[in-house]
């Protein structure tokens, strides 16, 4: 039997999801075990969550400041609070890149478990709202990494709402800070007839300037959400 390249890739992805056989970071062979995270113990130990005092608004680690960080003091934010699990550097950057760009979808349950622990502790009664992908992304890549995390969380019993949609726009990563803000404000809106949750917990993978999250929060609050917070894997 001849296996076509596309079918071979799909088979490999399914096998990796069920029984990961190599570490997503160092490539070291793993003992195939259903439900095990695709990370060796050494690489797992390299993932160090943000520790210490955090800014209550953006979630960044504070050095010498008290209360809000200097950036949050200097500008208004629509988001009520944000909580990144990690800094987007080192092992975390490699891990997220493997998940997003190298199709290590078997990382989704592991990453969702980390997100679930924070959501249960900080926002137990909130509805998770995944940031929607840009139009055409599913056609180009075949999947959306944030939606996959949302489905994992949904399977763990979290309420998930999808009231947002993204319109066609330039890709954020190619723009500067001010251009990102303007681009994002025009890119996100509520779906026609959608009612957002009163307590909305935005879900995304990485935040850079925060423009996307702010635009989504503005759309949710304009539609009736009373509070909007952001839960993310990492802050760049």
Query: Which has the minimum average pLDDT: 36-45, 92-101, 165-174, 222-231?
Result: 165-174
DSSP string computed for 52-111: S-B-TTT-PBPSS--SS-HHHHHS--SSSEEEEEEESSHHHHHHHHHHHHS--GGGHHHH
Choose among 110, 87, 92, 100: nearest CA to 235. 87
Mean pLDDT to the nearest integer, 151-168 = 95
Comparing 187 with 225, the larger pLDDT belongs to 225
58 and 155 share one domain: yes
Question: 72 and 89 in one domain?
Answer: yes
- The yes-or-no verdict on residue 14 having pLDDT over 70 is no
Q: Which two tokens stand for residue 89?
A: 């550097």
Q: Residue 91 CB: number of other CB atoms within 10 A? A: 18
218-235 pLDDT tens trace: 999 999 999 999 999 999
Q: Which of 9, 30, 46 is the last residue of a domain?
A: 46
Label residue 170 by pLDDT band (50, 70, 90). low
Question: Is 50 exceeded by the pLDDT of residue 26?
Answer: yes
pLDDT tops 60 at residue 172:
no
Token pair, residue 107, equals 């990382």
Q: Are residues 156 and 186 in the same domain?
A: yes
One domain, residues 137 and 189: yes
Mapping DSSP onto H, E and C, the string for 134-167 reads CCCHHHHHCCCHHHHHHHHHHHCCCCECCCEEEC
Q: State whether 40 and 62 are in the same domain.
A: no
- How many angstroms separate the CA atoms of 231 and 233, rounded? 7
37 and 80 together in one domain: no
The verdict on 2 and 87 lying in the same domain is: no
5 and 96 fall within a common domain: no
Same domain, yes or no: 37 and 85: no
Domain span holding position 17: 1-46
Do 34 and 144 have their domain in common?
no
Q: What's the CATH code of the domain at 123?
A: 3.40.50
Which residue bears the tokens 């066609």? 168
Top pLDDT among 156 and 103 is at: 156
Share of the chain above pLDDT 90, in %: 60
Do residues 159 and 130 share a domain? Answer: yes
Decide which of 52 and 181 is more confident: 52
For residues 15 and 65, membership in a common domain is answered with no
Give the chain's domain count.
2
């Amino acid at each position: 039997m001849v296996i076509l390249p596309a079918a071979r890739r799909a088979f490999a992805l399914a096998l990796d999801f069920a029984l990961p056989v190599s570490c997503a970071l160092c490539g070291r062979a793993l003992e195939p075990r259903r439900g095990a995270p695709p990370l060796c113990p050494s690489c797992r130990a390299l993932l160090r969550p943000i520790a210490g005092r955090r800014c209550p608004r953006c979630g960044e680690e504070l050095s010498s400041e008290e209360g809000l960080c200097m950036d949050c003091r200097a500008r208004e934010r629509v988001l009520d609070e944000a909580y990144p699990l990690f800094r987007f550097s080192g092992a975390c950057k490699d891990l997220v890149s493997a998940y997003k760009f190298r199709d290590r979808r078997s990382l989704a349950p592991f990453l969702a478990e980390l997100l679930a622990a924070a959501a249960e502790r900080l926002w137990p009664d909130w509805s998770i709202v995944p940031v929607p992908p840009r139009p055409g992304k599913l056609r180009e890549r075949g999947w959306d990494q944030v939606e996959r995390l949302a489905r994992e969380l949904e399977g763990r019993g979290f309420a998930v709402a999808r009231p947002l949609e993204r319109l066609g726009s330039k890709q954020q990563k190619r723009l500067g800070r001010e251009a990102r803000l303007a681009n994002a404000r025009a890119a996100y809106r509520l779906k026609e007839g959608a009612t957002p949750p009163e307590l909305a917990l935005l879900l995304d993978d990485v935040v850079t300037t925060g423009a996307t999250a702010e635009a989504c929060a503005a759309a949710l609050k304009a539609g009736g959400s009373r509070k909007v917070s952001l839960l993310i894997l990492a802050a760049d």
